[in-house]
Amino acid sequence: MSPILLLSLLSQVGGSTMSLAQSELVFIAPQREEGRLHLDAVLLALDRAYPPLLAASQKVNAAQGNLLSAQGNFDIKVKAKGEYDPLGFYDGAKADLMVEQATPLWGLRVFGGYRYGADFPIYAAKSVTGEAGEARVGLTLPLWRDGPIDVGRLGIRLAELGVDMASLEFEMKRLEAYQKASKAYFKWVAAGLKLQIDRGMLRFAEARQSFVERRVNQGALAAIELLDNRRLVVSRQERVATQEGELARATLNVSLYLRDTEGRVQRPRAESLPDTFPDVHTPSASLMRQAIAQGLDARPELARLKQVKKSLVAQLDFHENQRAPAVDLQVVASKDFGDKASYGPDPAFGTKGEAELGLSLSFAWPVQQRKARGKAAATRAKLRQLELERGFLSDAIEVQIRDAYARLLAAQRRTTLAMEAYGLNRQLESAERRKLALGQSTILVINLREESTAKAAKELVDSLTTYHLARADLAVASSQRPK
C-alpha cells in the first residue's frame, strides 16, 4: 500500500515549561475518506461530457449520414412524363410512367411502367398504344463492366468503412483525452500534497517561535536565533503562497475534464484532494509483453489503417473493373390493352394488342483506358504507402509501450529509494531537534534539517507522480483505460 503524506505537530509538555515542539513530517497508513476525488470519477465525467469527445461523436453521426446517402443509389425511382399538342393536326397525346429499381445483385436494374399514346401519324406508330394503354417490364444486366462492382456498391462500401473509421477516430480521441486527464489529475494531487508539506513546514516554524523566544529570555539561545526563526516564518509563508498558486493552476487544468451532465466545468474543491496516491506495485516482467500484444491488437490507429486498406482495395477493384468493356443486356416485355379495332385499319397497327419481347445488347470500350489505368496505378501506390506507414506505426507503438514500461520501472525503483531517503532525513531532523532543545544546536542547523526532510518528501511526491503518469501512459499505449 502506498504511503500517505501528512504533516503533524507533536508537542511534549514537561513540568511547568513546554519543551521544543517535536515536529516531524511523517508517513502513516492512508485513510480513504468520502468525498475524495479519484481518477475514475474524472474519466467518467470525461466520457459523459468532454466537448472534444462530443465533437468526435458527431463525426460518427456524419459518417452514418454519408452511409444513408450512399444507400440512396438503390432507392426506387419513379419517372413520369406527359405530352400534348393541342394546335397541331394530330393531338399527339402521350403519358409515360416508369418505376425503376437498381439492385446490388451484379448491377441488375429492373423496371416496370405504363404508357398511353393516341392520335399520332402513321410514321409515329410506335407512340400509339391500345385505348387502355400499354404495360411493360424489363431489366438491364451488365455482363462485364459494373457487374462485380459499380459506383453505387462502391459508394456504400466506402461509406460503411467511413463509419468504422470515424468510430476508431473517436476511440483515438478518447485515449488521448484519458492521457491528458490522467496527467492533469496526478499533477493536481501532487500539487495538493506539496502544499501540505509547505504548510506543515510553516507550522513548524510558527510553533517554534514562542519556544525560541523563551529560550532567548532564559539566556539559553542567542537573540539572533529569534530573528532567524522569524525569517523562516516569512520565507515559508512565501513558499505556501507560491504553492497555493500552483494548486490553483492544477485545479483549473483538472476542471477541463471534470464536468457535470450539462457539460459545465466543475472545479474540484480543496477538500476533495486525495490524501495519497493510488497503490504502487512493482511491474512484472510479463507486463511489457502483455502490453505490447494488447497494443498491437487493439490500438485504434492500427485498426483504422486496416479499414483504410479495405477502402483502397475496394477502390482498386472498381478501377480494375472499369478497364473492362461495358457489355449490357436489356430485356423488355410489353403488352397493349384495349379493343384492337380502336387502332384503325392501317397495317402498321396490325400487331397492336399482342405481347412483345425485346432484347438488346450494347457494347462500349475506351480503347486507351488511360483513366482507369491511371486510377488503378494511383491506388496501388497508396496501398504500398499505407503498408509502409502501418509498419512504422507498429514499431512506434511498441517503442511507446517499452518507453512507458521503462519509465514505470524506473519510477517504482526511485519511489523505493525516495521513501528510504525521506526516512533517513526525518531521523536526522528529529535528532537535531533534540539537540536544539538542549541548547546544542541553532535555528540555522535545524532549518537545514527541516529543509532536507521537506525536499525528500517532495522528491517522494515527484517519484509517485512520475510512477502514475508512466502507468497511465502504459495503459493508453496498450489501448486501455488508466486506473
Give the model confidence (pLDDT) of 159-181 as tens digits: 999 999 999 999 999 999 999 99
User: pLDDT higher for 24 or 35?
Assistant: 35
pLDDT of res. 160: 97
Q: How would residue 46 be classed by pLDDT, with cut points 50, 70 and 90?
A: very high
Separation between Cα atoms, residue 242 and residue 400, nearest integer Å: 35
Q: Give me the residue label for grid cell 402498321.
A: 348
**Residues whose CB falls within 8 Å of the CB of residue 327, separated by 6 or more in sequence, listed in order:** 142, 143, 144, 145, 361, 362, 363
Say if residues 148 and 321 touch (Cβ distance below 8 Å): yes
Alpha carbon separation from 407 to 281, 394, 414, 471 (Å, rounded): 13, 20, 10, 9
DSSP for 422-468, please give it.
HHHHHHHHHHHHHHHHTTSS-HHHHHHHHHHHHHHHHHHHHHHHHHH
Separation between Cα atoms, residue 336 and residue 191, nearest integer Å: 89
Residue 481 phi, psi dihedral angles, 5° rounding: -80, 130
User: pLDDT higher for 242 or 217?
Assistant: 242
Separation between Cα atoms, residue 311 and residue 25, nearest integer Å: 62
Portion of the chain with pLDDT greater than 90, in percent: 66
Separation between Cα atoms, residue 97 and residue 330, nearest integer Å: 19
| Bridge partners (DSSP) listed for residue 27 | 5
Q: How would residue 6 be classed by pLDDT, with cut points 50, 70 and 90?
A: very low
User: pLDDT higher for 217 or 43?
Assistant: 43
> What is the tens place of the pLDDT at every residue in 86-126?
777 777 788 999 999 999 999 999 999 999 888 777 777 67
Mean pLDDT, rounded, for 13-30: 34
pTM of the model: 0.82
Q: How would residue 130 be classed by pLDDT, with cut points 50, 70 and 90?
A: confident
Mean pLDDT, rounded, for 380-393: 96
pLDDT of res. 387: 95
> What is the tens place of the pLDDT at every residue in 251-284?
999 999 999 888 899 999 988 999 889 889 999 8
Separation between Cα atoms, residue 130 and residue 178, nearest integer Å: 73
The answer on pLDDT for 11 being more than 90 is no
Mean pLDDT, rounded, for 3-24: 33
Portion of the chain with pLDDT greater than 70, in percent: 89
The answer on pLDDT for 25 being more than 50 is no
User: pLDDT higher for 11 or 233?
Assistant: 233
> What is the tens place of the pLDDT at every residue in 424-470?
999 999 998 888 888 788 888 888 899 999 999 999 999 999 999 99
CA-based max dimension of the chain: 145
User: pLDDT higher for 395 or 94?
Assistant: 395
Q: How would residue 318 be classed by pLDDT, with cut points 50, 70 and 90?
A: very high
